[in-house]
Structure 1
Amino acid sequence: MKSFNTHSAAKNITSTAMVSLTTRLMVSFFMILFAVLPAFAQQIAIKGELVHTSAGAPITNGVVLISDGIIEQVGSQSSLRIPSAYEVHEAAVVTPGFIDAHSVVGLAGIYNVDSDQDQLELSSALQPELRAFDAYNAREELIKVLRDRGITTVHTGHGPGAVISGQTMIVKTTGTTVGEALIDSTTALAMTIGSGVRSNFDSPGTRSKAIAMLRQQLISAQEYMDGDEDRSRDLGKEALAQLLNGEIFAVITAHRSYDIMTALRLQEEFGFKLLLDGAAEAYMVMDEIKEAGVPVTIHPTMMRLGGDGENASFETAGKLSDAGITVLFQSGYEGYVPKTRVVHFEAAIAVANGMDYNQAMNALTIDAARVLGIDNQTGSLERGKQADVVLFNGDPFEYTTTADRVIIGGQVVSEGE
């Protein structure tokens, strides 16, 4: 009878285990590989009866070729050959993904209850240290509402209502975590000048007090920047230092003409980059805004009239645009459900009241991208840019039109409502 060789058996068992482990690892690798490949190697051809590129004149019977999430070519169907391997989608109108230039979506939620309203912290009127990044909910239903309608990029964060309410950020309307959605974690500081602040806080009680508090914060930040490197860290002053260094800009919500002028004076005094927000009475001080070279994220065209915004007008966007002022559109903040507006619906009303159609289209795309500093990656349909594309079944400025498909980074993320 043969004796049992334990050493040989152990070797065989070990060898078998190693083969089994290697096999499992290889299977896992290929499963992951095949799961990931469609996300990065998808090739799409989009044919549109009209293609708005925001990089030139619209193209009749145009085509957009997408490979690996990047726009490969844009041109007419007669001049571009569609490779046989490409998945073809057709639409009446094709546009770049729309950009919401100012929102609180992701911090403000759809249910309008305390637990999903993080856009304004009421413990202090001055909180530059608050990061939108720390409160953004990528799974918020309102993000899907915008995405399904063709908004692919949102400049969002802390909203109006405080002297300094906090920081803003830029995200894509996709992903399930803030990291997956993120374009820029710190874009601007949100500020407000006007009577709305006093209704939220005991102090400041007047405009002059609010501006004195804001100026003092900026002066303290200047001193902080010039101080000893061994000083204790101050997150608020660090954020203001970023503003004064030009790393980020200020979004100042101001509706009254004299509040707009105050914002312009502050910008001149401290030299920071400024994006005017709201600006309901901007048509009264257009020369001053143009001279300052400051872009304006116009109030939602259909906003409810009241308070500082009582003199808002359907015609403001067109007037500012005709005067050579860069105009952007926003969803803003709504105190009532459904809690968000849709920027191309607001643009449509501006077009119906005097704004040039192509200028409104640019305001939603390339102009917004330039102001936000992301035009090297999105905002137009051009070779080498990220494939953020929307396929509409009609004119996107018609209310009855819907987005048949929304593509972000070369991936179809929405197919109809």
Structure 2
Amino acid sequence: MRLSHILAGAVAALSLAPAAFAQSGPQAARSAAGPDEVVAIVGGRVLTGTSVIENGVVVMRDGKIVSVGAGTAPAGARVIDAAGKTVAPGFVAVDSGLGGTEVGSVRGTNELRNRSNTLSAAFDVSYGLDPWSFTLPVARLGGITRAVVVPQHPGSSGGHVHEEDTAGAGDGGFQTPGLFAGQAAIIQLAQGPDILVKPRVAMVAPFGEAGADIAGGARGAQFVLFKETMAEVRLYARNKAAYERAGLRSLSLSRADLEALIPVANGTQPLIVTVHRASDIRQVLRLAREEGIKVILDGAEEGWLVAGDIAAAGAPVLLNPISNLPSDFEMRAARAENAAALNAAGVVIAIKGNEGSTHRAREARYNAGNAVSHGLPYGAAIAALTANPAKIFGMEGRFGQIAPGAAADVVVWSGDPLEPLSQPSAVFIDGVEQPLTSRPLLLRDRYRQQTPMPPAYRNP
């Protein structure tokens, strides 16, 4: 095959751009379910996120769950028969890059990286989100309807993350190095241009080995630098007028970063802390206690060793239950029972996908199934994909549950959603039924064996 034919094929493949989805996209999807239409899903096994209802009826209207329970569909409702199937809340991807990156190793497509130390804590991923990202429909076909998108940093959980391309790696600026990666955002995965649900839901920072490297090589240096940073933020918050007229001593952060950190310092915005080693977890909890800040632990592979401390501190954990090998000295005690042990201790957990939870975000349900096989109760695994992420990020009752008043994010599965062979037969986000397609499926259908082959694939 000549090079010109190969290039032509590549161009043809790329021609399946976001517009390819628009023909069955937001307008078509929304016309199928008007704002006043009542939809009833009947006869399925309903996992509400907190309980199970056999042969249940889920009623949706105007983007919300109206009711869930036993009985029959209301008169005039559009009925979806879910007999023999499972009905579940849409899953929530946490610690995710969905909508923020297309190809992790191609810098121009990655909006999750920030290498400037003049702007670190104030980096806001919500401004770089792409609602036409090819990753969103793929994740949606895995039952994911919402995601918490986080900036990348040294120690991030996956994909092609290079430390020199992330926060804390730049030269110069107000504070070199920068301790903070930026601020996370919540998105919804429905087709259409408006995917942002809430920006700035949490600050993100690495601790442990990655944080120590940023701060100069020692864990103790990072903790002292962090405490000094919080002191400067509080000083600035008390003396903004003096700062504006240059009547305040020089501070190590830019004004934008100082402003962004005020909610962290006063305990109203949580700090997502990437940490793995048990001793580091205990020190992070001590730091949170001393500084009066709220922390969300991300990773915590050795969390089971200090599960009681984590529970007593009320710190939730974002974890991948299949991180069960001692890949380095921070994870010497990693084990597959971590999720079960943390849950048994009373820790609120959320289960992540793999490699940054972007291209492999849909694998979070497989990870949850693995956690069940290692002792996590089934109901706790479902909650870790649905209700718990919403609770952790201050959205309890708004999504992540099939409950009256919650967003109508509902997925009808062919079987148990934690079984890899189960597939969705219907996906609703905010009550709007979504098309069950994606770019990979369109490419499959276009380039599967056919006669004649597309021009770029014909022999000369």
- TM-score with structure 2 setting the length: 0.76
Q: Structure 1 95/383 Cα, relative in aligned 2: closer, same or farther at 3 Å? A: same
In the alignment, structure 1 residue 316 sits paired with structure 2 residue 338: yes
Q: Which among 238, 253, 256 is matched to residue 259 of structure 2?
A: 238
In the alignment, structure 1 residue 206 sits paired with structure 2 residue 198: no
Distance in 1 (alpha carbons) for counterparts of 2:366 and 2:118: 32
Match of 2:200, SS state, is coil
Distance in 2 (alpha carbons) for counterparts of 1:105 and 1:338: 8
Q: Which among 319, 322, 327 is matched to residue 306 of structure 1?
A: 327
Mapping of 1:356-395 within 5 angstroms? Answer: 356-395=377-416
Question: 1:27 corresponds to which residue?
Answer: none
Q: Structure 1 292/204 Cα, relative in aligned 2: closer, same or farther at 3 Å? A: same
Superposed CA RMSD in Å reads 2.6
Q: Which among 164, 171, 181 is matched to residue 180 of structure 2?
A: 164
Distance in 1 (alpha carbons) for counterparts of 2:137 and 2:325: 24
Q: Structure 1 393/245 Cα, relative in aligned 2: closer, same or farther at 3 Å? A: same
In the alignment, structure 1 residue 71 sits paired with structure 2 residue 65: yes
Residues 264-319 of structure 1 show CA distances to partners (whole Å, capped at 9, x for unaligned) of 11111111111111001101111211221111111352577523345422110001
Question: 2:22 corresponds to which residue?
Answer: none
In the alignment, structure 1 residue 42 sits paired with structure 2 residue 49: no
Q: Does the 8 A contact of 2:302 with 2:333 survive in 1?
A: yes
Q: Which among 34, 40, 55 is matched to residue 61 of structure 1?
A: 55
Match of 1:40, SS state, is coil
Residues 29-82 of structure 1 show CA distances to partners (whole Å, capped at 9, x for unaligned) of xxx9xx8794422321112431111243x1111110111111112112xx2343
Q: Structure 1 136/95 Cα, relative in aligned 2: closer, same or farther at 3 Å? A: same
Distance in 1 (alpha carbons) for counterparts of 2:128 and 2:321: 24
In the alignment, structure 1 residue 98 sits paired with structure 2 residue 120: no
Match of 2:208, SS state, is coil
Q: Which among 123, 127, 130 is matched to residue 123 of structure 2?
A: 130
Q: Does the 8 A contact of 1:264 with 1:292 survive in 2?
A: yes
Match of 2:285, SS state, is helix
Question: 1:28 corresponds to which residue?
Answer: none
Question: 1:25 corresponds to which residue?
Answer: none
Amino acid at match of 1:316: N
Distance in 1 (alpha carbons) for counterparts of 2:217 and 2:312: 31
Once the two structures are overlaid, the 10-residue window that deviates more, 238-247 or 146-155, is 238-247
Question: 2:148 corresponds to which residue?
Answer: 155
Distance in 1 (alpha carbons) for counterparts of 2:72 and 2:288: 48
Aligned length: 377
Distance in 1 (alpha carbons) for counterparts of 2:383 and 2:128: 30
Q: Which among 139, 144, 169 is matched to residue 137 of structure 2?
A: 144
In the alignment, structure 1 residue 270 sits paired with structure 2 residue 291: yes
Amino acid at match of 1:224: Y
TM-fit CA distance, 1:175: 4.1
Q: Structure 1 293/344 Cα, relative in aligned 2: closer, same or farther at 3 Å? A: same
Q: Does the 8 A contact of 1:275 with 1:297 survive in 2?
A: yes
Q: Which has the larger radius of gyration?
A: 1
Amino acid at match of 2:384: A
Amino acid at match of 1:73: S
Question: 1:6 corresponds to which residue?
Answer: none
Match of 1:312, SS state, is coil
In the alignment, structure 1 residue 327 sits paired with structure 2 residue 339: no
Match of 1:397, SS state, is coil
Distance in 1 (alpha carbons) for counterparts of 2:149 and 2:58: 29
In the alignment, structure 1 residue 83 sits paired with structure 2 residue 75: yes
Once the two structures are overlaid, the 10-residue window that deviates more, 116-125 or 235-244, is 116-125
Q: Structure 1 208/188 Cα, relative in aligned 2: closer, same or farther at 3 Å? A: same
TM-fit CA distance, 1:227: 0.9
Identity across the alignment (%):
26
Distance in 2 (alpha carbons) for counterparts of 1:109 and 1:330: 19
Question: 1:185 corresponds to which residue?
Answer: 199
Q: Does the 8 A contact of 2:113 with 2:153 survive in 1?
A: yes
Once the two structures are overlaid, the 10-residue window that deviates more, 371-380 or 159-168, is 159-168
TM-fit CA distance, 1:371: 1.4
Distance in 1 (alpha carbons) for counterparts of 2:422 and 2:287: 42
Long gaps (5+) in structure 1: 1-31
Amino acid at match of 2:308: D
Match of 2:404, SS state, is coil
Distance in 1 (alpha carbons) for counterparts of 2:243 and 2:32: 50
Residues 221-242 of structure 1 show CA distances to partners (whole Å, capped at 9, x for unaligned) of 0111111435338110111101
Distance in 2 (alpha carbons) for counterparts of 1:37 and 1:62: 23
In the alignment, structure 1 residue 220 sits paired with structure 2 residue 236: no
Q: Which among 106, 109, 114 is matched to residue 113 of structure 1?
A: 106
In the alignment, structure 1 residue 291 sits paired with structure 2 residue 312: yes
Distance in 2 (alpha carbons) for counterparts of 1:81 and 1:394: 22
Q: Structure 1 129/300 Cα, relative in aligned 2: closer, same or farther at 3 Å? A: farther
Once the two structures are overlaid, the 10-residue window that deviates more, 339-348 or 301-310, is 301-310
